[in-house]
Amino acid sequence: MSDQGNIKSGVGGLTEEQIKALEEKLKQMSPEELKAFQKQQCIFCQIVAGRVASKKVYEDNVCIAILDINPANPGHLLLLPKEHYPIMPLVPKEELEHMGKVAKHLSHCLLKSLKAEGVSMFIANGVAAGQRAQHFMIHLIPRKEGDGVGLVIPMRELKKEQLAEIEKRLKGKMKAMHEKK
């Protein structure tokens, strides 16, 4: 989905005429203007800026961690970059690496402070993956045996030919990406 499509999917209560006018305005925006518009519309950017209240448990110059207001379990954290990035591929490598280190420390804190038996960490990258907000985030959910949180991934059996084709495509794409660097 394009950035413009992501913005439109979050626009509610507008008439068909207003939506068409907004679509036209979005088409005319430069990449910088589009990013500023997205940031202005993003609730998580408002949280980062301190304009919307949150229960912040961690903050540094790159990211913040807040308690989710609709948690899967008590202590469910959202680790957010301070800059607006809709999806993970847009997050600069250095910021993503930093967030990984912070996620590791937060996971340890959840285990110790809440006496969790485990922590589920996940990234919903795109609408098809369950992403509801257009701001990249890492979810950290403290877990206990039998807590009823349904994050079990179904197992599918693929034929050897299917696996070989997927491997070929992924290796080809990784090689092409590596050569661009």
Q: Are residues 142 and 114 in the same domain?
A: yes
- The number of folded domains in the chain is 2
Amino acid in the structure at residue 32: E
Domain assignment present for 75 = yes
Task: Give me the pLDDT at residue 3, please.
Answer: 41
User: Residue 178: what pLDDT?
Assistant: 79
85 and 22 belong to one structural domain: no
C-alpha dist (Å) from residue 37 to 10, 27, 34, 109, 165: 13, 12, 5, 35, 40
User: Do 66 and 17 share a structural domain?
Assistant: no
Indicate whether 140 and 176 sit together in one domain.
Answer: yes
* Alpha carbons 180 and 157: distance in angstroms, whole number: 34
Query: What is the C-alpha to C-alpha distance for residues 131 and 13, in angstroms, rounded to an integer?
Result: 21
- Whether residue 93 is found in the same domain as residue 12: no
> Do 136 and 62 share a structural domain?
yes
Q: What token pair was written down for 15?
A: 């008439």
Q: Which has more confidence, 142 or 176? A: 142
> Mean pLDDT across the stretch 32-37?
72
This prediction's pTM = 0.76
Q: At residue 181, does pLDDT exceed 70? A: no
DSSP 105-169: HHHHHHHHHS--SEEEEE---SGGGT--SSS--EEEEEE-TT-----PPPP----HHHHHHHHHH
Phi, psi (rounded to 5 degrees) for 56: -80, 130
Residue 8 is part of which domain span?
A: 1-41
**38 — pLDDT class (breaks 50, 70, 90):** confident
pLDDT value for 92: 97
Residue 48 lies inside a defined structural domain of this protein: no
- Whether the pLDDT of residue 8 is over 50: the answer is no
Same domain for 6 and 68 = no
Question: In the predicted model, is pLDDT for residue 12 greater than 70?
Answer: no
